[in-house]
Structure 1
Amino acid sequence: MRKGRKVEAGATAAKASKSLILKKNDMPFLPQEVIFNILVRLRADIVYKFRSVCKSWYNLIHDRVFIQSHLGHSIPGLIINRNFLERKFIYEPDFKEMKDKKNIEQDLKYGSIGEVIGSCNGLVLLKTKRNCLSVANLITKQIVDLPSASSENLDSWYHQCGFAYVPETGIYKLVHLLIDEYTVTCEVLSLGCSGRNTWRCVNGFSLSSSSEDERWEFYGSKTVTINGIVYFVGVTHVQSSSMHIVSFDAGAEVFHMIRAPVHEITVSDSFLELGGVLSFVQATKPFKCNTYIVWILKDWLKGTWVKQHVISLRKPSMGCTLHWSDSSDFLHVVSSFSHGGRKIIIFEIKSSSEILSHIAYDLELNQESEIQFDVRGCPSGFFTHVNSLISPKLV
Structure 2
Amino acid sequence: MRKGRKVEAGATAAKASRSFILKKNELLPLLPQEVIIFNILVRLRADKLYKFRSVCRSWYNLINDPFFIQSHLENSTPGLIIKRYIVDRKPIYQTDFKEMKDRKNTKQDLKFGNIGEVIGSCNGLVLLKTKRKRLSVANLITKQILELPSATSDNLNFDRQCGFTYVSEIGIYKLVHLLLDDYTLKCEVLSLGCSGCNTWRCVNGSSLSLLSEDEKWQFHGSETVTINGIVYFVGVRHVQSSSVHIVSFDAGAEVFHMIRAPIHDFTICDSFIELGGVLSFVQATDRFIFDTFNVWILKDWLKGTWVKQHAISIRKPSILGGTLHRIDSSDFVQVLSSFSHGGRKIILFQIKSFSGILSHITYDLDLNQESKIQFDIRGHPSGFYTHVNSLISPKLL
Preserved CA contact (<8 Å) 2:172 2:193: yes
Residue 179 (structure 1) aligned with residue 173 (structure 2): no
The code of the aligned residue for 2:245 comes to H
Partner in structure 2 of residue 99 of structure 1 = 101
Contact between 2:79 and 2:97, CA under 8 Å: does it hold in 1? yes
**1:208 and 1:214 in contact (8 A); partners too:** no
Aligned match of 1:3: none
Unaligned runs of 5+ in 1: 1-28
Question: Using the alignment, how far apart are the partners of 2:165 and 2:265 within structure 1?
Answer: 26
Question: Which residue matches 1:249?
Answer: 250
Match in the other structure for 1:65 = 67
Give yes or no for contact 2:274–2:280 (8 Å, CA) kept in 1: yes
Q: Distance in 1 between matches of 2:130 and 2:104?
A: 30
Residues of 1 paired with 2:180 and 2:211: CA distance? 18
1:134-283 matches, cutoff 5 A = 134-152=136-154, 154=156, 156-205=157-206, 212-283=213-284
Pairing 1:32–2:45 present:
no
Which amino acid counterpart does residue 89 of structure 1 have in structure 2? P
Report the Cα distance in structure 2 between the residues aligned to 1:207 and 1:179, rounded to whole angstroms.
13
SS at match of 2:69: helix
Structure 2 equivalent of residue 79 of structure 1: 81
User: Residue 337 of structure 2 aligns to which amino acid in structure 1?
Assistant: S
Match among 41, 48, 51 for residue 49 of structure 1: 51
2: CA distance, partners of 1:139 / 1:131: 23
CA contact (8 A) 1:92 1:114 kept: no
Question: How many aligned positions are there?
Answer: 365
User: Does the alignment pair 1:352 with 2:354?
Assistant: yes
State the Cα distance separating 1:83 from its structure 2 match. 0.5
Deviation readout 1:32-79 (Å, 9 max, x if unpaired): 122111111111111110001111111111110000011000010000
1:105-141 CA distance string (max 9 Å, x none)? 3434423332110000000001124432110000001
**Hey, what does 2:311 align to over in structure 1?**
310
Letter in 2 for 1:271: F
SS of alignment partner, residue 175 of structure 2: strand
Describe how 1:99-118 pairs up with structure 2 within 5 A: 99-100=101-102, 102-112=103-113, 113-118=115-120
Distance 1:171 1:228 in 2: 10
CA RMSD of superposed structures (Å): 1.8
Q: Using structure 1 for the length normalisation, give the TM-score.
A: 0.88
Structure 1 residue 97: deviation in Å?
A: 0.4
The aligned counterpart of 2:10 is none
Q: What is the CA-CA distance between 1:212 and the residue it aligns to?
A: 2.7
CA distance, structure 1, for counterparts of residue 337 and residue 308 of structure 2: 19
Distance in 2, matches of 1:61 and 1:152, equals 41
The one-letter code matched in structure 1 to 2:270 is D
Q: Which residue of 1 aligns with 2:393?
A: 391
Q: 1:351 is matched by which residue type in structure 2?
A: S
SS at structure 1 position matched to 2:248: strand
SS in 1 for 2:106: coil
Partner Cα distance (2:207, 2:250) in 1: 17
Q: Is the 8 A contact 2:208 2:256 kept in 1?
A: no
SS in 2 for 1:235: strand
Secondary structure of the residue that 2:105 maps to in structure 1?
Answer: coil
Residue 38 of structure 2 aligns to a residue whose secondary structure is helix
Q: 3-state DSSP class of the match of 2:101?
A: coil
CA distance in 2, matches of 1:157, 1:287: 32
What TM-score, normalized to structure 2?
0.88
Distance 1:124 1:303 in 2: 29
Do 1:272 and 1:278's aligned partners in 2 also have CA atoms closer than 8 Å?
A: yes
Asked whether the equivalents of residues 82 and 379 of structure 1 are also in contact (C-alpha less than 8 Å), the reply is yes
